[in-house]
Amino acid sequence: MKTPNKFLIVICILWLLPALYSSLYSITDSSQKLNNVYLIKSRWHTGLIFRVDELSLKNIEAIRLFREMKYVDIGWGDRDFYQSPKDFDLYLAFKALFIPSESVVRIEGYNYEIEDIISYSDFCIRFALNENNLTNLLKFIDSSFSRNNQNKLVVTLKKARGRIFFFKSKYSYHIFETCNKWVAKGFAAAGFDISPGWIITSENLFEEVKKFGKVIIWKQ
């Protein structure tokens, strides 16, 4: 068999470069306005923090309840465990993992600076997304909400004088569909080259996405 012509190999590489560059460009292009998104893990909570602004208000209906806030922290989890008044309930944790159950989206609003919000996190990674990538992430989050027959969001619980809302989600929660996988699916929708399928724990998630952002808190 003849050795492939070197000229043809070079042509193939040059032909593929625009596609490879386009994939990187969509997330890191510095000529576009970049928006910070923060992935945090705090005890049993894994969430995404971003600004309440025109883009987030446009793409996530529930955030309109937080239009007076600077930032929102959004997470997804088992309905009973997430809404429990206890810091940790072993029975509810076991049930959440091993019995497929209803889920909720949790949103907490903040009027603090981001440094204060993330200071108690076990880890925090900052990502800089362009408008297109962030829009795709926001749309993924919005698609997680369940709606009633009148196409309205379903509030399941309100806490902290309206600073925290829980909304019914259309997904089922169990050990193979955790809050960490939900976040990973969001990042995949945003354009990150990741495989959410195997992600279960926050450690799995951290290792999978850290290369796309900047680790600013890591408490081992």
Residue 8: inside a domain: no
pLDDT of residue 13: 40
The segments of the chain whose pLDDT lies below 50 read 1-4, 7-26
211 found inside a domain: yes
Strand, coil or helix: what is 131?
Answer: helix
Q: Which residues, 6 or more positions from 10, have their beta carbon under 8 angstroms from its beta carbon?
A: none
Query: Is 4 domain-assigned?
Result: no
Produce one character per residue of 49-68: b if its CB has 16 or more CB atoms within 10 Å, e if not.
bbbbeeebeebbebbebbee
SS3 3: coil
DSSP 5: P
Residues constituting the chain: 220
Q: Residue 75 domain-assigned?
A: yes
What confidence tens digit (pLDDT) does each residue in 134-178 have?
999 999 999 999 999 999 999 999 998 889 999 999 999 999 999
Supply the pTM of this predicted model. 0.84
Domain that holds residue 133: 32-218
Confidence (pLDDT) at 29: 54
pLDDT of residue 196: 96
Largest CA distance in the chain: 75
Identify the pLDDT of residue 161.
87
Task: Please indicate, yes or no, if residue 105 is contained in any of the structural domains.
Answer: yes
Dig out the tokens for 5 from the structure.
Answer: 């012509």
144 contacts 105 by C-beta, under 8 angstroms:
yes
pLDDT value at residue 77: 95
Q: How far, in Å, CA of 141 to CA of 189, rounded?
A: 10
168 inside domain:
yes
The pLDDT value recorded for residue 41 is 97
**pLDDT score recorded for residue 8:** 45
Which residue, 164, 173, 109, is CA-closest to 144? Answer: 173
Q: Are 153 and 145 in contact (CB under 8 A)?
A: yes
Tell me how far apart the alpha carbons of residues 38 and 51 are, in angstroms, rounded to a whole number.
10
Domain contains 152? yes
Give the pair of three-digit tokens for residue 121. 């996190």
How many domains is the chain partitioned into structurally?
Answer: 1
Asked if residue 13 belongs to a domain, the reply is no
